[in-house]
Amino acid sequence: MIITPYIHDSPERTPTLIVEDSKYQSFYERYSLYIQNLEKYHLTFEQLRKSISTNEFFTQSYTNLSQDFYSDLENCDYVAIVGLGQNRMLRTLSGIYSKLLSNGVNIDIILTDPEGESTKMCARRSSSNRGDIEADINVHKESINRLLDMNPHGKTSKNVGELNVYTSDFMYPYTMYAFNCKDGVTSKTKIYIWLTVLFEPSEKRPGFVCEGDGDKSIMESYYLQFKTLRDSQELTTKRTSKYEISIANESNKTKKGCFGRKVKK
């Protein structure tokens, strides 16, 4: 280790110490600990800025998922999801879900209750198809039915994961995908959040990421919200059977509803 102290003189007069193979409590251990603390608690210039733009914070698109998101999902050991309806995500990510389940990864998903007021609220706040709530409800039920079909629980392999679907009558203010938090937040946990918007298309949903020691408290908050919902028998129902789909509006198919299906006039 080379140590160069600061002095009030020209640089060429600065003394330099070379420390090697020192004993306990020597310069080497002391300066090594000093450097470790600097690395642990340092702040970059960007972190010292008083504010950042929304574009720098909301980095995650909901309709064009980032490569980091795909990588985190594909390599996680547990997935926790909260969402209004997952028809779009199911179409995009079902193949990854199947691989995770076959590798023994459990997936817990909490969605709005298709037969509750929350799904009607979701349809009314959508940017399109607000006049055909029944079609949106059917799309939401179909998505849940497809999720239940993916569940490999009960198959012959002992190493498969389980996909659990829960419904609760809440209009969630965000969609959450949390990775590696089966027993709580750890150093490996990473959470993606997309805020719910009013009268705007899905591509307008602001999304951000929580990770690391600096975000531990907010990740614990999001995880607690998820766990409280999942484990509450009063607020949440675990869905084990498929919904019956109404065909009354099947011929009314026009434009895109809030849960992602295209319906025609």
Task: Specify if 264 maps to a domain.
Answer: no
Residue 204: what pLDDT?
A: 92
Same domain, residue pair 16 and 122: no
| Euclidean distance between CA atoms 194 and 205, whole angstroms | 6
Domain co-membership, 107 together with 16:
no
Domain limits for position 19: 2-40
213 in the same domain as 106? yes
- Do 36 and 69 reside in the same domain of the chain? no
**pLDDT for 256:** 47
Same domain, 128 and 169: yes
* Number of domains making up the chain: 2
Residue 216 and residue 224 in contact, taking contact as beta carbons nearer than 8 Å:
no
33 with 101, same domain?
no
Rounded mean pLDDT, 222-246: 93
| Selection from 179, 175, 176, 195 nearest residue 187 by Cα | 179
Q: Are strands 207-211 and 190-195 parallel, antiparallel or unpaired?
A: antiparallel
User: Is residue 251 domain-resident?
Assistant: no
- Residue 110 sits in the same domain as residue 154: yes
CA distances from 50 to 27, 47, 58, 82, 90 (A): 37, 8, 17, 32, 39
| Backbone dihedral angles phi then psi of residue 100, each to the nearest 5 degrees | -60, -45
pLDDT in tens, 119-172: 888 777 765 656 678 888 888 899 999 999 987 655 545 678 999 999 999 989
One domain for residues 35 and 137: no
Identify the CATH number of the domain in which residue 212 sits: 3.30.870.10
In a domain, 265, yes or no: no
Average pLDDT rounded to a whole number, residues 247-265: 47
Share of the chain above pLDDT 90, in %: 49
Give the pLDDT mean for 45-68: 83
User: Is the pLDDT confidence value at 210 over 90?
Assistant: yes
Q: What is the pLDDT of residue 49?
A: 62
% the chain with pLDDT above 70? 73
Both 21 and 128 in one domain: the answer is no
Q: Is residue 17 domain-shared with residue 72, that is, in the same domain?
A: no
What tens digit of pLDDT does each residue of 71-113 get? 999 999 999 999 987 788 888 999 999 999 999 999 999 999 9
| Mean pLDDT, rounded, for 32-46 | 73
Residue 109 forms part of a structural domain? yes
Q: 191 and 144 in one domain?
A: yes
20 and 70 share one domain: no
User: What pLDDT is recorded for position 260?
Assistant: 53
**pLDDT at residue 254 is higher than 60:** no
